[in-house]
Amino acid sequence: MCAHAGVATGFLAVTTVLTALLASAVTAANLAPTPTQPKPDNTIMMQGGKARPAGIVPSDPALLGRTDSTLVPILVKLDYAAVTDYDGDIPGLAATNPQRTGKKLNQNKAAVDAYTRYVIAYESKVLDRINTKISSATVRQSFRTIYGGVAMTLPANRIDELLSIEGVVAVQRDSLEQPQRPAGTSGGVYSR
């Protein structure tokens, strides 16, 4: 397999994941907590008060320190593990991570539903904090299953302030990337 095919396969995998996330999108209006779930105060945090789950890219340096008020679409990593990554660290909430449980998410419905309710309540509290400090921020989507955060639009000069809000871990640029067919390639994913 040539290097270009590996890159194309990687882009295809990312595109597939993003498509799945978009299909199960939840808007900020649907973030109402349920009354019978564990308190978000039990969230396990890393030293310094903010979790940095394995595999999460730190904040995009190009977004930091901006002074312009251009509206910027960003992904905001919140301080909780995505449903696919949750290892059961919170008392009363069983693990949902398929690698840890040995079960697909749909085979672990009770644990997935309980942890998702917890995440919805936690996310709602963080979004309330964000709305209080940055009323111009607009949540477009929630990505609880894979990413553990939200897609949001806000003025670029408010990103540093966003990062100071309890429950916000990192920001990355939110842009749609289209895989390109490398010159001179045929077959494989390109022939479908």
Residue 142 reports pLDDT greater than 70? yes
Look at residue 185 and tell me if it is in a domain.
Answer: no
Sheet-wide strand order for 138-143:
138-143, 149-155, 71-78, 168-173
Q: Domain for residue 188, yes or no?
A: no
Q: Is the pLDDT of residue 2 over 60?
A: no
Average pLDDT over residues 104-128: 97
11 lies in some domain: yes
DSSP β-bridge partners for residue 72: 154
Q: How confident is the model at residue 19 (pLDDT cuts 50, 70, 90)?
A: very low
- Do the domain assignments include residue 167? yes
pLDDT of residue 132: 96
Contact call for residues 130 and 1 (beta carbons, < 8 A): no
What tens digit of pLDDT does each residue of 155-167 get?
Answer: 999 999 999 999 9
Span 38-68, pLDDT tens digits: 333 333 333 334 444 545 668 988 899 999 9
Q: Look at the block and give the residue holding tokens 């079960």.
A: 103
Question: Pairing mode, if any, of strands 138-143 and 71-78?
Answer: unpaired
Q: What is the mean pLDDT of the chain?
A: 76
Q: How far apart are CA 131 and CA 67, in angstroms?
A: 20
Structural domain for 163, as ranges: 3-179
pLDDT tens by residue, 69-107? 999 999 999 999 999 999 999 999 999 999 999 999 999
> How many domains are contained in the chain?
1
Is 135 inside any structural domain? Answer: yes
pLDDT at 15: 39
- Residue 179 has what pLDDT? 77
Please indicate, yes or no, if residue 191 is contained in any of the structural domains: no
Residue indicated by tokens 């390639």: 185
Q: Look-up: residue for tokens 């310094």?
A: 48
CA–CA dist 177, 157 (Å, integer): 24
Higher pLDDT, 142 or 28: 142
**pTM for this model (two decimals):** 0.66
Amino acid identity at 148: G
Q: Domain for residue 20, yes or no?
A: yes
